[in-house]
Amino acid sequence: MKVSPLIEQQHDIPKASARGREIVDARVIICSPGRNFVTVKITTHDGIYGIGDATLNGRELAVAAYLNDHLLPNLIGRDAGRIEDIWQFAYRGAYWRRGSVKMSAIAAIDVALWDIKAKMANMPLYDLLGGASRDKVLVYGHANGNTIEETVEEVGRYIDMGYSAIRAQTGVPGLKASYGVSKDKLFYEPADAELPSETVWNTHDYLTHIPKLFEKLRQDYGDGVRLLHDGHHRMTPREAAQLGKSLEPYNLFWLEDVTPAEDQDAFRLIRQHTTTPLAVGEIFSSIWDCKDLIENQLIDYIRATIVHAGGITHVRRIADLAALYQIRTGFHGATDLSPVTMGAALHFDLWVPNFGIQEYMRHTPETDAVFPHAYTFDQGYLHPGDTPGHGVDIDEALAEKFPYKPMQLPVTRLTDGTMWNW
Ligand code: EZ4
Ligand code: CO
């Protein structure tokens, strides 16, 4: 009996085109310089190494275990240049697809491999992606205060620092704590306790209070400054539509995460009622979370990020899909996304044709010291720098001085005690 050679064929691990490109080491580094970070370092036979971020705020060790126990052992001996094949291996090969834990782990490997490839090519990553589409990357900073007056003052401080785009969050009278309002004004950090702290939320009071903030901001600073606001998944679709409508006179750059987006169709209702631009996606892990929102043009900015949505290889597909529908990128860039993600994102931002804006929350000096980086801030813009790779490194000796500290994000309840969306 003749057997088809195609059926007979067995595949070995894809061979590296040259010995020097083989992966010889792949490790996880966990540290807490001001906050927790999970970093992947991959090294080739030639001694070229790449760095990737795998930080998932409040769930760091789950990703580290997934990397250590399930993904990294597979990499040894593979060709570091076969980024796509390794991505597909990690995604399809798990059988269990998607989800934040798995996609953050894949992202870290993917970014480390892009870093290696750009170093092998002796190019800054943006050059390898297709070259710069712009001179610099527009970023927005975070201004927050307990009262409208305090927030207005903070926005002024950001204008003085050179920002032309600013997110404004304010406390709501009667509520002890509000999303986005922090103790430290410059270094916002929501993960504040070993077990989640409990906060209280009241949408009725919020909906009447927030328009007053933006009215005052426009009165004081005029029409030029780009203003953003994050609803942090607190509203129902109808309430979100109401907020969008009431903010229309103040011409926001965007209104973010107005309602949970598991049900992507919910945004139809919001969209029908308001022209305020909508941004969604910081907690998305794959293109499937974005698909209906994009294809039905229910949003204006997609926030799915490199670290939580499968790395450069996957987010590039999301950005390309979005471009078909005139939707632009607006990557998440809070402090829990490490400088490694910030560096990789800035290269992506400089290249991607349908770039919108990049969120930028400053890391603490401790974090910056552990992750030396080539990116620089100037007058409201960031530039990724021109060093080969993504331009971010990790000082491992220093990282060791900041061991992991268990920290979780808060939870929130309505005034009657009902569990709600933080
Ligand atoms: O709450 O990154 O737009 N930014 C945000 C962030 C998120 C944190 C969660 O880890 O919503 O502040
Ligand atoms: Co947000």
Task: State how far Cα 2 lies from the chain centre.
Answer: 54
- For 155, the domain range is 128-387
In a domain, 44, yes or no: no
Rounded mean pLDDT for each run of 10 residues along the chain, 422 residues in total: 59 80 98 98 98 98 98 97 98 97 99 98 98 98 96 98 98 88 80 92 96 98 98 98 98 98 96 98 98 98 98 98 98 98 99 98 97 98 98 98 97 96 96
Q: Tell me the C-alpha distance between 395 and 399, whole Å.
A: 6
419 φ, ψ (degrees, to nearest 5): -65, 135
> For residue 408, how far is its CA from the centre of ligand 1 (angstroms)?
13
Q: Is 282 in the pocket of ligand 1 (CB under 6 A)?
A: yes
Nearest CA to ligand 1 atom 8: 334
Nearest CA to ligand 1 atom 1: 190
In a domain, 322, yes or no: yes
* Residues known to be catalytic: 179, 232
What does DSSP say about strands 137-145 and 165-170: parallel, antiparallel, or unpaired? parallel
In a domain, 16, yes or no: no
Question: What is the model's pLDDT at position 3?
Answer: 53
**For the CA of 188, the nearest atom of ligand 1:** 12
Q: Tell me the C-alpha distance between 360 and 335, whole Å.
A: 8
Structure tokens at 57: 């705020």
Task: Tell me the residue type at 412.
Answer: T
b/e burial code for range 361-391 (CB count within 10 A of at least 16 → b): bebbebbebbbebbbebeebbbbbbebbbbb
310: phi > 0 → left, psi -120 to 50 → alpha, else beta; which? left
> For residue 48, how far is its CA from the centre of ligand 1 (angstroms)?
33
Q: Is 230 in the pocket of ligand 1 (CB under 6 A)?
A: yes
Pocket test for ligand 1, best of 100, 181, 336 (most atoms within 8 A of CB): 336
Nearest CA to ligand 1 atom 7: 334
Q: Is 138 exposed, middle or buried (0-12, 13-18, 19+ CB in 10 A)?
A: buried
CATH code (residue 337): 3.20.20.120
In a domain, 201, yes or no: yes
> For residue 190, how far is its CA from the centre of ligand 1 (angstroms)?
8
User: How far is the first Cα of the chain from the last one, in angstroms, to the nearest whole number?
Assistant: 64
Question: What is the model's pLDDT at position 329?
Answer: 98
Total domains in the chain come to 1
> For residue 18, how far is its CA from the centre of ligand 1 (angstroms)?
42
In a domain, 181, yes or no: yes
Q: Tell me the C-alpha distance between 62 and 408, whole Å.
A: 13
What does DSSP say about strands 411-414 and 419-420: parallel, antiparallel, or unpaired? antiparallel
In a domain, 369, yes or no: yes
Q: Of the ligands numbered here, which is closest to the C-alpha atom of 188? A: 1
